């Protein structure tokens, strides 16, 4: 857990708007995504999916499909008899806790042990329309599709439960026969003296909100290419967020050593949380390839993407808040009902995040009580999506803040300022807010930029202003084992250029560019001469993956550590070349110089040549940077965290929105959106803005339009004609404000940003609608119908 002091290092590249290091490959079409991989002899894989919500599989006859010329492999559930699930927190203190001990969880006591509830190909019964039943690999797509149509499945349909209210009723049909009441998981507990905090409150308000299925809708659908060699090594090409942990899970399911699987993931066509867990298609594809003894490409169609890949969990959230007369928040209780769909995926972890983050740590409640029930239904299973439960819970909390302000006759801005988290605060569950906490400044800047008080004085009919705040993580200890780290190998090549072999993953966010910028300043090397090689589990680097807005922070710190070590090596060699003590040496722009006489210098290239070929002893310029944040796991005895909690650089934001509502039609127009974020030091303003602007698109969609409509278990959305995503002409202006308060632990003071900006948009819009037409919509998306109904 070493830490580099970067205070003294000059920032010449950090903070600059530099083009991304992989931009050229993207603007020339050279970037090769999963669907572009074409190996000799490659076959096409396809999946047969259930047409029923709930049915017993009586018989699967594959004889005709197998007989079709060109078909090389046909698989059913009988051929892949494993059960698996996303295994959140499978380790404790680095040791694997066996399932029979109920351990398996760094969050034990609060999180249920993960239960394997999914077969890659269904066995016994199917549980949603889209459940995988069988799969084929054939010489081309046409043959594969024909083969699917030749597979005969005999079903016996079963009564289905597709709504949570039905599913929780006694005697409801069971999605998983062994799970009573369809209760997939139940998380409950208290932090602090809740009863007392409630008693000390002068006002108590309780309100309920609901959210919808929102889809990540990455432009690149899920998929992979799999290939085995004769020694039993498996190579997988797939654009994912978490190459190492997906490999870990795949190895477990296939019962083979991790190192015999190589996952290559250089280009990811969008992820947003949807590509961070092992999914059926990858297991299926690996087995098709094994049986067919040929490489197989299995790419989901857009329709499959909408019907069967994890979207955002719909939540029903009831928030009870106790406050003092002054508006000071004393107690908060959150009850969540989650529509889990047919399988668990990351459901429990997402709900836990919704509880721990906004519910327990936005503002300063003294005590928090929570109860989340995840209910199985015969529907497609949602999973992780940018924000990870935070958007749903924040919609409830931040909508209610305005409702409370109105009921108590308080100014919603002042109410938030009064309760805003401050640096050094400790939350009810034991998290310490970092010195970089700047929620107050974010609220002030956002309201100022949107012209809050002037506009309030001169109201325009049907126009309204709303705001909403956010807390989010920078990295999250407890996702896997007891680390929150990253590593990289740094190499100064024999021409003096630098290669970073990074564990960090880049989903298009610019994470690899950020690493190069950090390296340039931390090492004193020319930015143009730094390359990043990453996205491959065979590299000498490790990382948990790109989720929880962690890459800049953890990956960046790893680079700083490797760079510090590299400088020592460079200086020791240069001191031989220059005949000067190493302490007198500095390096900048790939030139080593004497601090006492800057005219005495030697290029990094010459140092490298000397190192590899001339020193008379082998001296390779290769260093490793390993970083782990000083964050903490939950104490399983107390159910609380020791400070600082799972993240050490919580981030905050405030969004302010101006809307115009047409009272005749209920249509909402976004006039302006201001997003103020305390991101610490901004390493690259262009990529940081890009994260906020892109997240705003998802946030507005969540607020107003996006909905994977599922009726009686049937997904009605098949393509982009049915799923409305904002397009260029309709995208409102987004004003980004960085509140740059350096974080003491971040690389050059940086914190995470990727997920945060999605979260406050929906509640800010809801509050603005309420301000415009005095009508409160408590259910997402806020369609014209719902707005009209609220007005009436």
Partner 1 sequence: MNTDLEMTVNGFKTILKAEPYENLRDLLRKSGYTSVKKGCDVGGCGACTVLANDKPVYSCCVLAAWADGKTIVTLEGLAKDGKLDPIQRTFMEKGAAQCGFCTPGFIMVSKYVVEHKPNATEAEVRKALGGNLCRCTGYVKIVEAVMAAKEQGLK
Footprint of partner 1 on this chain (CB under 8 A)?
17, 19-20, 22-29, 31-33, 35-36, 216-221, 267-272, 301-303, 507-510, 686-687, 689-690, 693-698, 719-721, 725, 727-729, 731, 734
Cβ-contact 132, 343 below 8 angstroms: no
Instruction: Work out which of 387, 430, 508, 763 binds ligand FES, going by CB under 6 A.
Output: 508
Find the length of the chain: 792
Question: C-beta of 259: minimal distance to partner 1 in Å?
Answer: 29
332 binds, among ligand FES, partner 1, none (CB under 5 to 8 A by kind): none
Residue 270 contacts ligand FES per CB under 6 A: yes
Nearest Cα residue to 604 out of 590, 586, 623: 590
Question: C-beta of 508: minimal distance to ligand FES in Å?
Answer: 5
Residue found by looking up tokens 């509502």 in the block: 661
Residue found by looking up tokens 């019907």 in the block: 307
Which residue's CB is nearer to ligand FES, number 99 or number 270? 270
Which residue's CB is nearer to ligand FES, number 27 or number 460? 27
Quote the CA–CA distance of 512 and 504 in Å, as a whole number: 8
Residue 239: both structure tokens together: 């654009």
Which residue's CB is nearer to partner 1, number 239 or number 434? 239
What DSSP state is assigned to residue 105? -
Residue 693 contacts ligand FES per CB under 6 A: no
Residues 210-239 touching ligand FES, rule: CB under 6 A, are: 219
Cβ-contact 116, 184 below 8 angstroms: no
Quote the CA–CA distance of 141 and 4 in Å, as a whole number: 53
Question: C-beta of 699: minimal distance to ligand FES in Å?
Answer: 16
Question: C-beta of 536: minimal distance to ligand FES in Å?
Answer: 21
**CB nearest ligand FES: which residue?**
219
Which residue's CB is nearer to ligand FES, number 270 or number 586? 270
Cβ-contact 213, 708 below 8 angstroms: yes
Question: C-beta of 394: minimal distance to ligand FES in Å?
Answer: 25
Indicate the burial class of 612 (C-beta count within 10 angstroms; 0-12, 13-18, 19 or more).
middle
Which residue's CB is nearer to ligand FES, number 162 or number 691? 691
721 binds, among ligand FES, partner 1, none (CB under 5 to 8 A by kind): partner 1
Which residue's CB is nearer to ligand FES, number 538 or number 719? 719
Number of chain residues interacting with ligand FES (CB under 6 A)? 3
Which residue's CB is nearer to partner 1, number 218 or number 562? 218
CB burial string 202-220: b at 16+ within 10 A, e below: eeeeebebbbbbbbbbbeb
Question: C-beta of 219: minimal distance to ligand FES in Å?
Answer: 4
**Can you say how many angstroms the Cα of residue 111 is from the centroid of all Cα atoms in its chain?**
19
Which residue's CB is nearer to ligand FES, number 469 or number 688? 688
User: Could you tell me where the beta strands, DSSP code E, fall in 608-667?
Assistant: 622-628, 634-635, 640-641, 651-661
Question: C-beta of 214: minimal distance to ligand FES in Å?
Answer: 16
Residue 10 contacts ligand FES per CB under 6 A: no
690 binds, among partner 1, ligand FES, none (CB under 5 to 8 A by kind): partner 1
Provide the 3-class DSSP secondary structure of residue 380: coil
Question: C-beta of 89: minimal distance to partner 1 in Å?
Answer: 28
Question: C-beta of 362: minimal distance to partner 1 in Å?
Answer: 24
Question: C-beta of 218: minimal distance to ligand FES in Å?
Answer: 7
| 593 contacts: CB under 8 Å, gap ≥ 6 | 585, 586, 587, 600, 601
User: Could you tell me where the beta strands, DSSP code E, fall in 68-212?
Assistant: 71-76, 91-92, 95-96, 125-126, 132-138, 152-157, 183-191, 203-210
Question: C-beta of 506: minimal distance to partner 1 in Å?
Answer: 9
Residues 113-172 touching ligand FES, rule: CB under 6 A, are: none
Residue 382 contacts ligand FES per CB under 6 A: no
Cβ-contact 673, 657 below 8 angstroms: yes
Residue found by looking up tokens 């970067």 in the block: 6
Which residue's CB is nearer to ligand FES, number 219 or number 716? 219
Question: C-beta of 495: minimal distance to partner 1 in Å?
Answer: 21
33 binds, among partner 1, ligand FES, none (CB under 5 to 8 A by kind): partner 1
Which residue's CB is nearer to partner 1, number 19 or number 124? 19
Quote the CA–CA distance of 692 and 674 in Å, as a whole number: 10
729 binds, among partner 1, ligand FES, none (CB under 5 to 8 A by kind): partner 1
Quote the CA–CA distance of 19 and 559 in Å, as a whole number: 20
Question: C-beta of 270: minimal distance to ligand FES in Å?
Answer: 5
Cβ-contact 708, 466 below 8 angstroms: no
Exposure of 480 in the CB half-sphere (CA atoms within 13 A): 20
27 binds, among ligand FES, partner 1, none (CB under 5 to 8 A by kind): partner 1
Which residue's CB is nearer to ligand FES, number 270 or number 685? 270
697 binds, among partner 1, ligand FES, none (CB under 5 to 8 A by kind): partner 1
Cβ-contact 10, 588 below 8 angstroms: yes
Q: ∠ at Cα 355 (438, 346), nearest 5°? A: 115
Question: C-beta of 553: minimal distance to partner 1 in Å?
Answer: 19
Which residue's CB is nearer to partner 1, number 28 or number 230? 28
267 binds, among ligand FES, partner 1, none (CB under 5 to 8 A by kind): partner 1
Nearest Cα residue to 569 out of 608, 536, 512: 608
Question: C-beta of 721: minimal distance to partner 1 in Å?
Answer: 6
Quote the CA–CA distance of 437 and 474 in Å, as a whole number: 12
Residue 481 contacts ligand FES per CB under 6 A: no
Which residue's CB is nearer to partner 1, number 364 or number 698? 698
Which residue's CB is nearer to ligand FES, number 63 or number 219? 219
Residues 92-111 touching ligand FES, rule: CB under 6 A, are: none
381 binds, among ligand FES, partner 1, none (CB under 5 to 8 A by kind): none
Ramachandran area for residue 735 (φ above 0: left; ψ -120 to 50: alpha; else beta): beta
User: Could you tell me where the beta strands, DSSP code E, fall in 84-124?
Assistant: 91-92, 95-96
Q: ∠ at Cα 738 (732, 744), nearest 5°? A: 150
Quote the CA–CA distance of 349 and 440 in Å, as a whole number: 29
Residue 129: both structure tokens together: 């329309």
Cβ-contact 679, 651 below 8 angstroms: yes
Which residue's CB is nearer to ligand FES, number 276 or number 745? 276
Footprint of ligand FES on this chain (CB under 6 A)?
219, 270, 508
């Amino acid at each position: 857990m070493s830490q580099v002091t970067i205070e003294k290092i000059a920032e010449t590249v950090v903070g600059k708007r530099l083009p991304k290091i992989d931009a050229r490959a993207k603007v020339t079409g050279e970037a090769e995504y999963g669907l572009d991989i074409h190996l000799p002899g490659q076959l096409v894989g396809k999946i047969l999916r259930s047409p029923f919500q709930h049915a017993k599989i009586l018989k699967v006859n594959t004889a005709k499909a197998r007989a079709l010329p060109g078909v090389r492999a046909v698989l059913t559930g009988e051929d892949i008899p494993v059960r698996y699930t996303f295994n959140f927190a499978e380790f404790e203190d680095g040791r694997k806790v066996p399932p029979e001990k109920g351990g398996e969880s760094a969050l034990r006591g609060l999180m249920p042990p993960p239960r394997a509830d999914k077969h890659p190909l269904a066995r016994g019964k199917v549980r949603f329309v889209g459940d995988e039943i069988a799969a084929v690999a054939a010489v081309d797509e046409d043959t594969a599709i024909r083969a699917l149509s030749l597979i005969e499945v005999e079903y016996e349909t079963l009564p289905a439960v597709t709504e949570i209210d039905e599913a929780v009723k006694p005697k409801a049909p069971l999605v998983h026969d062994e799970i009573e009441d369809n209760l997939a998981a139940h998380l409950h507990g208290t932090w602090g003296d809740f009863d007392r905090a409630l008693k000390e409150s002068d006002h108590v308000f309780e309100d309920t909100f609901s959210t919808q299925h929102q889809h990540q809708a990455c432009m690149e659908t899920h998929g992979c290419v799999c290939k085995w060699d004769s020694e039993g090594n498996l190579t997988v090409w797939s654009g994912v967020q978490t190459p190492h942990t997906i490999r870990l899970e795949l190895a477990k399911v296939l019962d083979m050593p991790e190192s015999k699987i190589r996952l290559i993931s250089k280009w990811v066509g969008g992820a947003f949380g949807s590509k961070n867990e092992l999914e059926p298609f990858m297991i299926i594809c690996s087995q098709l390839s094994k049986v067919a003894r040929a490489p197989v490409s299995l790419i989901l169609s857009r329709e499959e993407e909408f019907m069967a890949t994890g979207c955002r969990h719909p939540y029903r959230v009831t928030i009870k808040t106790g406050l003092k007369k002054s508006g000071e928040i004393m107690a908060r209780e959150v009850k969540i009902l989650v529509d889990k769909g047919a399988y668990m995926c990351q459901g429990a972890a997402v709900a836990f995040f919704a509880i721990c983050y906004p519910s327990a740590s936005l503002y300063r409640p003294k005590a928090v009580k929570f109860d989340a029930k995840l209910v199985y239904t015969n529907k497609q299973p949602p999973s992780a999506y940018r924000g990870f439960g935070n958007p749903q819970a924040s919609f409830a909390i931040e909508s209610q803040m305005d409702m409370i302000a109105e009921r108590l006759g308080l100014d919603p801005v002042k109410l938030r300022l009064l309760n805003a988290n401050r640096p050094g605060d400790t939350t009810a569950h034991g998290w310490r807010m970092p010195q970089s906490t700047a929620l107050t400044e974010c609220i002030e800047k956002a309201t100022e930029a949107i012209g809050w008080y002037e506009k309030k004085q001169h109201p325009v009919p049907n126009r309204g202003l709303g705001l909403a705040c956010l807390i989010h993580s920078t990295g999250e200890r407890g996702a896997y084992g007891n680390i929150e780290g990253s590593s990289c190998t740094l190499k100064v090549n024999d021409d003096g250029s630098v290669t970073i072999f990074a564990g960090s993953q880049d989903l298009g966010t610019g994470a690899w560019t950020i690493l190069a910028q950090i390296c340039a300043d931390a090492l004193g090397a020319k930015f143009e001469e730094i390359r990043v090689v990453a996205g491959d589990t065979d590299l000498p680097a490790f990382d948990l993956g790109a989720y929880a807005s962690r890459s800049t922070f953890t990956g960046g710190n790893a680079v700083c550590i490797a760079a510090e070590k590299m400088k020592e090596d460079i200086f020791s060699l240069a001191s031989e070349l220059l005949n000067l003590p190493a302490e007198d040496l500095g390096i900048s722009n790939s030139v080593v110089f004497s601090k006492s006489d800057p005219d005495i210098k030697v290029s990094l290239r010459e140092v490298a040549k000397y190192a590899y070929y001339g020193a008379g002893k082998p001296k390779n310029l290769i260093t490793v940077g390993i970083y782990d944040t000083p964050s903490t796991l939950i104490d399983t005895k107390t159910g609380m965290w020791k400070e600082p909690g799972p993240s050490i650089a919580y981030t905050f934001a405030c969004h302010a929105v101006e809307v115009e509502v047409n009272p005749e039609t209920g249509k909402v127009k976004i006039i302006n959106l201001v997003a103020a974020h305390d991101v610490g030091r901004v390493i690259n303003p262009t990529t940081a803005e890009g994260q906020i602007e892109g997240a705003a698109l998802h946030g507005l969609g969540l607020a107003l339009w996006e909905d994977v409509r599922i009726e009686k278990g049937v997904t009605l959305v098949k393509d982009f004609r049915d799923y409305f995503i904002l397009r260029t002409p309709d995208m409102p202006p987004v004003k980004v404000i960085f509140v740059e308060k350096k974080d003491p632990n971040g690389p050059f003071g940086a914190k995470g940003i990727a997920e945060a900006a999605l979260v406050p948009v929906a509640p800010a819009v809801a509050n603005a609608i309420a301000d415009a037409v005095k009508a409160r919509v408590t259910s997402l998306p806020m369609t014209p119908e719902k707005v009209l109904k609220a007005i009436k």
